[in-house]
Amino acid sequence: MLQRIVKPVLLLVLLVLTHRTYATEGMWLPQLLSGLNEKEMKGMGMKISAADIYSINKGSLKDAIVSFGGFCTAEVISEQGLLLTNHHCGYDAIQKHSSLQNNFLENGFWAKSAVEELPNPGLFATFIVRIDDITKAALQDVKPGMSERERQSVIDKRLNEIKQGARKESWQDVMIKPFYEGNQYFLFVTETYHDVRLVGAPPSSIGKFGSDTDNWVWPRHTGDFSMFRIYAGKDGRPAPYSKDNVPLKPKYALTISLKGMKQNDFTMVLGFPGRTTEYLPSEAVKQTVDVLDAAKVEMRDAALRIMDGYMRKNEQIKIQYAAKYAGTANYWKKWMGEMQGVKHTNGIGKKQQYEADYRQTLAANPVWQQQYAGVLDSLNHYYQEIQPYAQTRDYYSELIRNVELFSAADRLITFLNDVYEKGEGQYETMRQQFLDGMQPFYQNYSAKVDQDICVSLTDLYVKGVPAQYAGSEFAQVWQEYNKDSRVLAEKAYGLSGLTSMDKLKAFMQQPYTTVVAQMWKDPAVRLVMALRKGFVENVSRPLADLQANINNLQRTYMQAQMDVMGNKKRFYPDANSTLRITYGKVDGYTPRDAVQYDFYTYLDGVMEKYIPGDYEFDVPAKLIELYKKKDYGRYGVNGKMPVCFIASNHTTGGNSGSPALDAYGHLIGLNFDRTWEGTMSDINYDPSICRNIMVDIRYVLFIIDKYAGCTRLVNEMKII
């Protein structure tokens, strides 16, 4: 009798336990792991301690991680400052060193010795020396009832003092950032190296294999890596570029493991995630996907379709527009994945459930009642109010961004405003700088493509933006063109002085006063002036005011959630480009009914996707040869070459290039993307389908060693 009851209960308990006993959501602060996460991490299989990850007394994992140029992550993998990051993170640098004769994007690049390593002005690598909690001091002068502006001003004053007084070495810097929507503040002492040289990169047919078609997609087969080296002055400290600089002797360099991963193995990713918004009310999430993402996707959809049409017909345009297309497509695809993912996982419904729980728990406590009653309702109210403004902002910025003639006009107007502010006398010197800045723009510009995009996107703008926000000046111009975007575009592209570098130069050659007087006659400038005016007069102010109210309430709501729901949920701060650690397990997923994704891909998959001569799926001959001979050296397993794998680490943009580490803190892969179905992790992480994509370190080493024959690099690494 007893047995019959106990058994199913036991089974149920076991099922529940094996199903979810750990959380993979979260981008945690590395200095707080011992209190918050260490136990769970060990429970999931981690074999090192929190102090091995972050310590200020000894070299720890964090000392091997750098913010790479502020937009990606990289890690030190040798005692000589060798850095590993993604191919798409090094892309600009690789492109800048490329020419038709030496096309490193196409053929790859491998410095055969230190002298061949190439400097990259402007590129930097920043280490985190120390992180301090300064919340108390930062908020010391904040009084209840202060307006948002007052509050910020007393905080800024304090932060300035704290910054001045921070303990640091002369070559180090101090940075302070708000966390938890401004409820906490942390100070970072950093060390930035400005001599970062390009060491190696595979050809794009490996480093960007699959290109846009495979971007955000699993199963993936991209060898998305490139290598750099940090150089320091002879004293080991940061120094501007000099040929006398020496390779950095790092505080810590990662050890590489060739063991590979099995299902459910513990993994962690250390890096610099850029931005997430995980604590919005369901109302705001709904708005993000239904209204804002939808508007942006609609605009980019049209622009991409037109670019693609031309790129397929015209080789020259294909080259000119490849990077632009990729840049536009990246977030277009991400937003679509986000829209679908929220729906697929019932993200809104789950948030609503959470909010109901929050409201109920709050109601039971008089203190919280007093502090937080009405916060969520007010937030919802403001989100409703901001919606048309936010939507207009997105239409507006997508219009200016994607119609390049409008971007050019926008830049010109901004430039002329700058001159006005600095004084007419500055015009000639500033003009040269401006023209230099515009040069690359025109190198890859086709007025024909752009004109079609203009027609299509202007229509969408007019349809999507209510007339009172677009403004009367725009209405007038629009009327003059008979409300016909074709007529508008014919005028603009036919008569504007901004459709080529030569015309722009000739126009700017005139004296400042003439330029300012004449620019009104330029139809593109006039149009953008009207658009800008409409935006500034009808949208920016209410948008900023509403946003200030929302920020204020989000901060209170954040604190409220931490107080009210603190027993049921662990809270991590939203990403803000500071060093974070996320951990999870190697695991596949089920994106939709009857489809099950495995967690590893192999070189066989590269060959399955191979399309000879294709710009996305070509495979270099040497790689095919190695594949045919199964010449994988120590990097293969059972006659196969692993390429990519996925796990449930919570990552976002900026985490590209982050190291994937195993239970011992050894380097096993390089993070570079997420799976498309799970891109909503930025607003609503769901462990069922959110996965990060990493290239296996064995594939990276196989390419360096066997494909490129660059053994000098492999020899400086510590491999176990």
Which residues contribute to the site for ligand ASP (CB under 6 A)?
651-656, 672-674
Beta carbon of residue 88, minimum distance to ligand ARG (angstroms, whole number): 4
The residue written with tokens 């996907």 in the block is 289
Q: Which two tokens stand for residue 676?
A: 């498309």
Does residue 88 carry a catalytic annotation? yes
End-to-end CA distance of the chain: 55
> What are 204's two structure tokens?
């794009």
Under a CB-based contact definition with an 8 Å cutoff, are residues 117 and 229 in contact?
yes
Catalytic residue (choose from 63, 224, 686, 696): 224
Across the beta sheet with 580-585, the strand order is 580-585, 266-271, 659-661, 667-674, 692-696, 642-647, 600-602
258 close to 698: Cβ distance less than 8 angstroms: yes
CA-based nearest residue to 225, from 669, 598, 706, 676: 669
Q: Which does 326 bind (CB under 5 to 8 A by kind): ligand ARG, ligand ASP, none?
A: ligand ARG
Do 695 and 672 meet the contact criterion of CB atoms below 8 Å apart?
yes
Q: What SS3 class is residue 123?
A: coil
CA 267 to CA 661: how far, in whole Å? Answer: 6
- Residue 652's binding partner among ligand ARG, ligand ASP, none (Cβ under 5 to 8 angstroms by kind) is ligand ASP
The residue (of 325 and 474) whose beta carbon lies closer to ligand ARG is 325
3-state SS, residue 535: helix
For the bound state, the minimum distance from the C-beta of residue 193 to ligand ARG, rounded and expressed in Å, comes to 24
Nearer to ligand ARG, 404 or 673 (CB): 673
User: Measured from the CB of residue 389, what is the shortest distance to ligand ARG in angstroms?
Assistant: 27
Dig out the tokens for 337 from the structure. 């994945």
- Nearest CA to 64 out of 249, 195, 247, 202 is that of 249
Look at residue 205 and give the partner it binds from ligand ARG, ligand ASP, none, a contact being a CB closer than 5 to 8 Å depending on partner kind.
none
Q: Which strand (E) or helix (H) includes residue 192? A: strand 184-193
Q: Residues 6 or more apart from 69 whose CB is under 8 A from it?
A: 89, 122, 123, 124, 125
Nearest Cα to Cα of residue 188 among 41, 67, 58: 67
Tokens representing 658 are 């982050």
Q: Quick one: 453 or 660, whose CB is closer to ligand ASP?
A: 660
Contact partner at residue 651 from ligand ASP, ligand ARG, none, CB < 5 to 8 Å by partner kind: ligand ASP
In the complex, what is the shortest distance from the CB of residue 60 to ligand ARG, in angstroms, rounded to a whole number? 28
Which lies closer to ligand ASP via its Cβ, residue 238 or residue 653?
Answer: 653
What's the closest the beta carbon of residue 692 comes to ligand ASP, in angstroms? 6
Q: Between 327 and 709, whose beta carbon lies closer to ligand ARG?
A: 327
What is the phi-psi region of residue 644: left when phi exceeds 0, alpha when psi lies from -120 to 50, beta otherwise? Answer: beta
The one catalytic residue among 63, 78, 87, 88: 88
Q: Which of ligand ASP, ligand ARG, none binds 37 (CB below 5-8 Å, type-dependent)?
A: none
Amino acid identity at 352: Q
Establish whether the linkage from the previous residue to 281 is cis, with ω within 30° of 0: no
Rounded Cα distance between 119 and 194, Å, is: 10
Q: How far is CA 229 from CA 68, 115, 568, in A?
A: 11, 12, 45
For the bound state, the minimum distance from the C-beta of residue 86 to ligand ASP, rounded and expressed in Å, comes to 7
Q: Residue 212's binding partner, choosing from ligand ARG, ligand ASP, none, with beta-carbon cut-off 5 to 8 A by kind? A: ligand ARG
Question: What is the closest distance, in whole angstroms, from the C-beta atom of residue 332 to ligand ASP in the complex?
Answer: 14
The nearer residue to ligand ASP, 372 or 685, going by C-beta atoms, is 685
Q: Is 656 among the residues known to form the active site?
A: yes
Footprint on this chain of ligand ARG (rule: CB under 6 A): 88, 211-212, 215-216, 326, 330, 653, 656, 673
Which is nearer to ligand ARG, 50 or 700 (by Cβ)? 700
3-class DSSP assignment, residue 143? coil
**Any catalytic annotation for residue 19?**
no
DSSP-based three-state secondary structure for 561: helix
- Options 67, 456, 656, 681, the catalytic residue: 656
> Minimum CB separation from ligand ARG for residue 691, in Å?
13
**Residue whose CB is less far from ligand ARG, 27 or 256:** 27
What positions carry a catalytic annotation? 88, 224, 656
